[in-house]
Amino acid sequence: MDVQLKNIAVEKVATSKINEVDFDNLSFGSVFSDHMLECTYKNGAWEAPKVVPYQPITLDPSSKIFHYGQSIFEGMKAYKDSEGGVWLFRPSDNQKRLNISAKRMAIPELPEEYFMEGLSTLLQVDKDWIPTQAGSSLYIRPFIFASGKGFHASPADEYKFIIATAPSGAYFSGKVKVLIEEKYSRSANGGVGFAKAGGNYAGQFYPTQLAVKKGYQQVIWTDDNTHEYIEEAGAMNIFVRIKDTLITGPTSDRILDGITRKSILDIAADEGIKAEVRKISVAEVVEAAKSGDLKEMFGAGTAAVISPIAGFGFQGIDYDLPELENSYAMLLKKRITDIQYNRAEDKFGWRHKVL
């Protein structure tokens, strides 16, 4: 996997569509930039990546992505500071996690240089697509899928690696009410829950639809065996604050090793906030809600950074959380976003300069 890239071929669009975009009214992940990075695996090796115009993909109907679901992805963002500098947040963690997911899904691992230099080249080409409005960013979606042909149930012999980007406005989830799941599971021991595999998310949609019909916006997933312990909130890691202690579950076969999650734990330590990484039982959360000791719950992930939870439902009873003026959620979110947008010191070395 020791690969050296001197430069990456770039094929630019004939005419940019950037002037057609209303950057003051961007929804999340629905408008796409002019270019994308593309790389093909065939004959036992990854070919050199190239930047090409954003375009549809043509696939054979027997391509294995359609039949056996070999598909993984990452989620990350590029930010512009007040001086026009372009930054990434912990990109090497995304690169490493992509390969962890690839290994679990029997997908050939991607050379680090293809990811890092390819992404840097793409951002240089499409730098004008990185919005500057408050809270906005360029959402980045690296993904790999099986393009090899055949109906036989085995790993593909060809794959595509693509990085596509989408300028997105500030992500506000509003007041989220969640339902603690008692029947369905997101993942299981020995499974692929720790990987960012597409099927993990497809399997969440139906239980979430059931929760939405009951008046909730998301599901809190519990362990697959007993449903006694909370594990994730929707597609995000979850944090619970009981009194002044912040608690999150340990990573495992079932729980994604979230980059925002790791950042929160480091910043909490820097702020002197007591944090524990341990199992959190549903009974403990319910009892804390009844006693008034449950101060906060929030999800943590790339899109929203931190998404506060206003209340949760369990066994037919709704529990509301207090509205705090000085919440841990807002403190931690500000610390992270100030680093991401180059507004504050980065004592952790997370910020990566592109331009």
Token code pair at residue 349: 């070395």
Token code pair at residue 237: 């890691």
Q: Per-residue confidence at 3, pLDDT binned at 50, 70, 90?
A: low
- Does residue 146 contact residue 70 with C-beta atoms inside 8 Å? yes
Model pLDDT for residues 57-78, shown as the tens digit of each residue: 999 999 999 999 999 999 999 9
- Does residue 41 contact residue 76 with C-beta atoms inside 8 Å? no
Q: What is the pLDDT of residue 6?
A: 66
Average pLDDT over residues 261-266: 98
Asked if the model's pLDDT at residue 309 lies above 50, the reply is yes
For 74: left if phi > 0, alpha if psi spans -120 to 50, otherwise beta; the answer is beta
Cβ-based neighbours of 128, under 8 Å, separated by 6 or more:
18
CA distances to 3, 206, 258 from 299, in Å: 37, 20, 11
Q: What is the pLDDT of residue 5?
A: 60
SS3 string, the chain, reads CCCCCCCCEECCCCCCCHHHCCCCCCCCCCCCCCEEEEEEEECCEECCCEEEECCCCCCCCCECHHHHCCEEECCEEEEECCCCCEEEECHHHHHHHHHHHHHHCCCCCCCHHHHHHHHHHHHHHCHHHCCCCCCCEEEEEEEEEECCECCCCCCCCCEEEEEEEEEECCCCCCCEEEEECCCCCCCCCCCCCCCCEHHHHHHHHHHHHHHHHCCCCEEEEECCCCCCEEEEECCEEEEEEECCEEEECCCCCCCCCCHHHHHHHHHHHHHCCEEEECCEEHHHHHHHHHHCCEEEEEEEECCCEEEEEEEEEECCEEEECCCCCCCHHHHHHHHHHHHHCCCCCCCCCCEEECC
> Pick from 141, 136, 137, 114: which is nearest to 36 by CA?
141
Average pLDDT over residues 244-266: 96
Distance, in Å, from the CA atom of 336 to the CA atom of 339, rounded to the nearest integer, reads 5
Antiparallel, parallel or unpaired: β 50-53 and 9-10 = parallel
Q: What is the pLDDT of residue 223?
A: 95
Model pLDDT for residues 169-185, shown as the tens digit of each residue: 987 667 799 999 999 99
Please provide the average confidence, as pLDDT, over all residues in the chain. Answer: 96
Distance, in Å, from the CA atom of 216 to the CA atom of 318, rounded to the nearest integer, reads 10
Q: What percent of the chain has pLDDT over 70?
A: 98
Model pLDDT for residues 211-225, shown as the tens digit of each residue: 999 999 999 999 999
Q: What is the pLDDT of residue 1?
A: 43
Cβ-based neighbours of 324, under 8 Å, separated by 6 or more:
295, 296
Rg, Å, the chain Cα set? 21
Model pLDDT for residues 125-152, shown as the tens digit of each residue: 999 999 999 999 999 999 999 999 999 9
Q: What percent of the chain has pLDDT over 90?
A: 95
Model pLDDT for residues 229-243, shown as the tens digit of each residue: 999 999 999 999 999
State the CB neighbour count (10 A cutoff) for residue 166. 19
State the CB neighbour count (10 A cutoff) for residue 260. 23
Q: What is the pLDDT of residue 175?
A: 77
Model pLDDT for residues 5-55, shown as the tens digit of each residue: 668 999 999 999 999 999 999 989 999 999 999 999 999 999 999 999 999
What is the rounded (10 degree) CA torsion for 99, 306, 136, 172? 130
